[in-house]
Amino acid sequence: MSTPAVLALDLGTGSIKALVVDQQCQVLGSGSSQYPVDRPHDGWAEQGPMSWWTATAEAARGALGQANAVEIAAIGISGQMHGTVLLDSSGSPVRAAIIWEDRRSSEQVRTLTERIGAQRLIELCGSPLATGFQAATLAWLIEREPASIARTAHVLLPGDYLRYRLTGEFATEPSDASSTLLFDIDRYDWAGEVIDAVGIDRDLFPKTLPSAAVTGTLSERAANDLGLQPGIPVTGGGGDAPLAALAAGATNANTLLLTISTGSQAILPAELPVVDLAGRIHTWCSPAGPSSGLPRWYQMGATLASGRALRWLREEIMTGNTNQLDASVASVPPASDGVIFLPYLNGERTPHMDPDASGAFIGLKAHHGPGELSRAVMEGSAFGLFDAYQVLHELGGKPERIVLAGGGARSRIWTEIVAGIFDLPVDPLQESEGSAMGAAIVAGTAIGWFDLAEGATRSARFGARVEPDPHSAAIYRDLHPIFQRAYRLLRDDLHALGEIATRARSASINA
Catalytic residues: 240
Cite the beta strand spans of 282-381 per DSSP E: 282-285, 297-303, 340-342, 360-362
Return the SS3 of 357.
coil
Rg of the chain over Cα atoms, rounded to whole angstroms, equals: 23
Residue 351, preceding peptide bond in cis (omega within 30° of 0): yes
**DSSP conformation class of 318:** -
- For residues 70 and 64, the answer to whether their CB atoms sit within 8 Å is yes
**DSSP conformation class of 186:** T
Helices (H), 168-207: 174-177, 192-198
- For residues 359 and 309, the answer to whether their CB atoms sit within 8 Å is yes
Cα–Cα distance between 453 and 456 in angstroms, integer? 5
Cite the beta strand spans of 324-369 per DSSP E: 340-342, 360-362
- For residues 428 and 259, the answer to whether their CB atoms sit within 8 Å is no
- For residues 438 and 247, the answer to whether their CB atoms sit within 8 Å is yes
Q: Which amino acid is at 430?
A: Q
Cα–Cα distance between 365 and 146 in angstroms, integer? 57
CA-based nearest residue to 106, from 148, 146, 83, 137: 137
**DSSP conformation class of 204:** G
Question: Judging by beta carbons within 10 Å of its beta carbon (0-12, 13-18, 19+), is residue 481 exposed, middle or buried?
Answer: exposed
Cα–Cα distance between 305 and 377 in angstroms, integer? 10
Q: Would the CA dihedral through 153, 158, 160, 161 be positive or negative?
A: positive
C-alpha to C-alpha distances, 140 to 47, 110, 135, 156, 200, nearest whole angstrom: 17, 12, 9, 16, 11
Give the number of other CB atoms < 10 A from CB of residue 212: 26
∠ CA 400-294-287 to the nearest 5 degrees? 115
